Chain A
Amino acid sequence: MAAKPDATASTFSLKTLKLKTKQQEILIRVTILCLVYILAFVTRLFSVLRYESMIHEFDPYFNYRTTLYLTEKGFYEFWNWFDSESWYPLGRIIGGTLYPGLMVTAALIYWILKFLRFAVHIREVCVLTAPFFASNTTIVAYFFGKELWDSGAGLVAAALIAICPGYISRSVAGSYDNEGVAIFALLLTFYLFVKAVNTGSLAWALASAFGYFYMVSAWGGYVFIINLIPLYVLVLLITGRYSMRLYVAYNCMYIVGMLLAMQIRFVGFQHVQSGEHMAAMGVFFLIQVFYFLVWVKHMINDTKLFQALLRIGVTSAVTVGAIALGLGTASGYISPWTGRFYSLLDPTYAKDHIPIIASVSEHQPTAWSSFMFDFHILLFLFPAGLYFCFKRLSDATIFIVMYGLTSMYFAGVMVRLILVATPAVCLISAIAVSATIKNLTQTLRGKPAQTLSAKGAGGTRGSSKQQASVDQSIPLLKNGASVLLLGAFYLLSRYAIHCTWVTSEAYSSPSIVLAARGAHGQRVIFDDYREAYFWLRQNTPSDAKIMSWWDYGYQITAMGNRTVIVDNNTWNNTHIATVGRAMSSYEDEAYEIMRSLDVDYVLVVFGGVTGYSSDDINKFLWMVRIGGGVFPVIKEPDYLVNGEYRVDKGAAPKMLNCLMYKLCYYRFGELTTEYGKPPGYDRARGVEIGNKDVKLEYLEEAFTTSNWIVRIYKVKPPTNRW
């Protein structure tokens, strides 16, 4: 006869299975995890169902192209690939300047599926890689939550992270970008490291080193790990919570992890030469000195002598370290913090010094509305979770608190980094939710509330006495608890509704296919980008060179299969500035520049007919700024009128005659775009354009897409001598 199940479980039909309580609990847990796994995958499929299975945005096209190359040519060719189809005439060493983790992962999945005789196209694998790894992240979150608090918190963490919009934004189906895999690697590394610190086992530390290797191969954000973990070790050392397990965990992870990380060509020797990685090395030496001193203290057992040794040892070690660091930085051997990461510490740095970094929309500081949009109730559950963590401080909770606080700071500096903060916020909120609901349900069932210092477990004799006293002291306690419980469930259900709505409305658009509502409410699709790229592919000679702004470079190479001048890698600022200068000059000066770069076709994006606001005219001021940063002949005030950016009659004369204006508005003056407005009315800017009579001397129009979004012009060869 099976043991009598608990009161709450007897109402289910689990009794028919004759399971013990422990087995019932495991069954419930496994079911919840399976459902969360499927949920995380399914909620990211909106755009596949609405449009088609395609790659979104800009960067994923480069990743797709490299993955295609990897599956076709093999790993050796991929690792040593020099690409002459981008950054003409410079070319790009792709093998040495990318993070191979994502491509190798997708290729591995593709090869496994092929081995199992599933004939899928690599594009389908690429599109669905991110949701698959999001599901895996929820499993890791469960184990991490279990390590931090208990399995209930783990389950809540898995459920929260499955639908959290902060993570979904970069991991929808089709968003084939590094972050989709990197967040999985990040959470895995942190989980394995915390497990290593908790158990003190070399095997777990080795596993965390491998996790770190995967993270380094996947994303440049690994710098966060290699700075957070030394900071955590430092905090533990300072607060006196150090132990032998910490030594074992950190040392093995640092040495093996550093060696593995240096195998990636793009990272190279940065772990010993770059300022961003010096914190880890400093803490490594500090930990050796520290533990050596602890060992000597243990050996001597005489405090006076030890104090003397301590004085000598610490001062000499710190002096030597400081001198070494100073020499290294002064001589330039240790490179200072690069612009990308320095702008995280000093957010105003990029705007003044590096316009390219400042111009990316994802690098702007975060507004409160973005936080609310991406986190919803987690935003106020986060401080509650911090409170619970501080009440039960252990090595693991100190880690998650530090992770949460540092990542929230960085999320405030740059919108894109909300993604890095999401796992921490979900875990900490899960602790709050789990602890609160546990207390409430125990109050409801009549057991005394568990005090968090684990003293409240109490014997059976104590519980009945406390139960009576609890019931007597607060008469409506049970009612209050049930009301609060209902309130908690209501909040969580609103969270789920919000997340699904956000995913559906905001984060599922492919960016390359635009949709709008027609006059009768039917959905209208603008597929102009792909129309233009396929026109390029089919109607231009195969060695044609295309000049466009760097946003579209990856897409042109991947879908149009033509050589581009600049693309999204933005590794060469002068080359981009040359293109910017060409776009902002008068047509004859621009023609000189285009001849020098062997340009055959020019591609611009124009939103005046459809009202599409991310077109080149709106990005034009950035072209001016970046071009003007390198060539002082381009001055931004020339294009503005009283500091205002205008394209109508009152616009600056240089603006009305520059190449970008002419290419966008060629023949536009004859077009009536909106009922009741004059011809040449620009729907994106909301004005009638100033110069309607555009004549092109050195270029001719090659192709304009059906909604005028992409316009392609052919550069005419020089005329014959007379």
Chain B
Amino acid sequence: MVKSATTKDDAHALFHSLRSAYSATPTNLKIIDLYVVFAVFTALIQVVYMAIVGSFPFNSFLSGVLSCVGTAVLAVCLRIQVNKENKEFKDLPPERAFADFVLCNLVLHLVIINFLG
């Protein structure tokens, strides 16, 4: 009983500390995080749909899921490069980071459209 209580306490403490630390992040990073969550959620919906309906045009399924995963990952990369706390990227102008992000997304979606079938 004690163990589960401490695990629950741990989880609560964890949750609270995470919440307080997260609310301190700047708004632009929170927007990127929201986008990432949205993309991952869309990917999950597609996987559930595939589980229900079957994966017949497999290339379409793959292109759909990978486009969501791809934009999520690229958005995370953008967040890393724009985040002021990262010392390694402090001389990278955020415009350059965003331009790279747009370019990679462009290539990603061109390939997706070719692969969609």
Q: Which residue of A lies closest to B100 (CB)?
A: A202
Q: Which residue of B lies closest to A271 (CB)?
A: B62
Q: Which residue of B lies closest to A302 (CB)?
A: B17
In the complex, per-residue mask of A247-267: 1 if CB is within 8 Å of any chain B CB, else 0: 110011001101110110000
Partner of A308, one of B10, B69, B89, B114: B10
Closest approach, in angstroms, between the C-beta of A320 and any C-beta of chain B? 14
Known contacts A244-B80, A248-B81, A255-B66; A202/B107 CB under 8 A = no
In the complex, per-residue mask of B77-117: 1 if CB is within 8 Å of any chain A CB, else 0: 11011000010110010000100110110011001101100
Q: Which of B40-89 contact A (CB under 8 A)?
A: 58-59, 62-63, 66, 69-70, 73-74, 76-78, 80-81, 86, 88-89
Partner of A202, one of B17, B66, B81, B88: B81
Indicate if A203 sits at the interface (CB-CB under 8 A). yes
Contact assessment for B104 and A262 in the assembled complex, using a CB-CB cutoff below 8 Å: no
Contact assessment for B111 and A202 in the assembled complex, using a CB-CB cutoff below 8 Å: no
Chain B residues with Cβ below 8 Å from A245 are 88
Chain B residues engaging chain A, CB cutoff 8 angstroms:
7, 10, 13-14, 17-18, 21-22, 58-59, 62-63, 66, 69-70, 73-74, 76-78, 80-81, 86, 88-89, 92, 97, 100-101, 103-104, 107-108, 111-112, 114-115
Contact assessment for B111 and A309 in the assembled complex, using a CB-CB cutoff below 8 Å: no
Contact assessment for B77 and A262 in the assembled complex, using a CB-CB cutoff below 8 Å: no
Contact assessment for B111 and A256 in the assembled complex, using a CB-CB cutoff below 8 Å: yes
Chain B residues with Cβ below 8 Å from A122 are none
Contact assessment for A305 and B17 in the assembled complex, using a CB-CB cutoff below 8 Å: yes
Chain A residues with Cβ below 8 Å from B66 are 255, 258-259
Q: Which residue of B lies closest to A245 (CB)?
A: B88
* Cα distance A272–B65 in the bound complex, in angstroms: 12
Chain B residues with Cβ below 8 Å from A262 are 59, 62, 115
Contact assessment for A305 and B70 in the assembled complex, using a CB-CB cutoff below 8 Å: no
Closest approach, in angstroms, between the C-beta of A269 and any C-beta of chain B? 6
Indicate if A200 sits at the interface (CB-CB under 8 A). yes
Closest approach, in angstroms, between the C-beta of A259 and any C-beta of chain B? 5
Partner of A256, one of B21, B101, B104: B104
Q: Which residue of B lies closest to A259 (CB)?
A: B111
Chain B residues with Cβ below 8 Å from A272 are 62
* Cα distance A256–B86 in the bound complex, in angstroms: 25
Chain A residues with Cβ below 8 Å from B104 are 202, 205-206, 252, 256
Most buried by A among B77, B81, B92, B112: B77
Question: What number of A-B contacts does a CB cutoff of 8 Å give?
Answer: 92
Contact assessment for B62 and A200 in the assembled complex, using a CB-CB cutoff below 8 Å: no
* Cα distance A474–B74 in the bound complex, in angstroms: 58
Known contacts A251-B77, A263-B115, A305-B14; A256/B88 CB under 8 A = no
Contact assessment for B18 and A300 in the assembled complex, using a CB-CB cutoff below 8 Å: yes
* Cα distance A205–B21 in the bound complex, in angstroms: 31
Contact assessment for B80 and A299 in the assembled complex, using a CB-CB cutoff below 8 Å: no
Contact assessment for B70 and A256 in the assembled complex, using a CB-CB cutoff below 8 Å: yes
Task: Kindly list 10 other residue pairs between chains A and B, CB separation below 8 angstroms, not including A202-B78, A259-B112, A305-B13.
Answer: A202-B101, A206-B100, A244-B89, A247-B76, A248-B81, A252-B73, A252-B74, A255-B74, A299-B21, A308-B14
Closest approach, in angstroms, between the C-beta of A499 and any C-beta of chain B? 40
* Cα distance A209–B97 in the bound complex, in angstroms: 18
Q: Which residue of A lies closest to B58 (CB)?
A: A269
* Cα distance A296–B17 in the bound complex, in angstroms: 10
Indicate if A243 sits at the interface (CB-CB under 8 A). yes
Partner of B70, one of A201, A203, A259: A259
Query: Can you identify 28 A-B contacts, CB atoms within 8 angstroms?
Result: A200-B81, A200-B89, A202-B77, A202-B78, A202-B100, A203-B103, A206-B103, A206-B104, A206-B107, A243-B88, A247-B76, A251-B74, A251-B77, A255-B66, A255-B70, A256-B111, A259-B111, A262-B59, A263-B111, A269-B59, A272-B62, A299-B17, A299-B18, A299-B22, A300-B18, A301-B21, A305-B17, A308-B14
Chain B residues with Cβ below 8 Å from A206 are 100, 103-104, 107
Q: Which of A227-256 contact B (CB under 8 A)?
A: 243-245, 247-248, 251-252, 255-256
Partner of B77, one of A243, A252, A269: A252
* Cα distance A109–B58 in the bound complex, in angstroms: 35
Contact assessment for A200 and B14 in the assembled complex, using a CB-CB cutoff below 8 Å: no
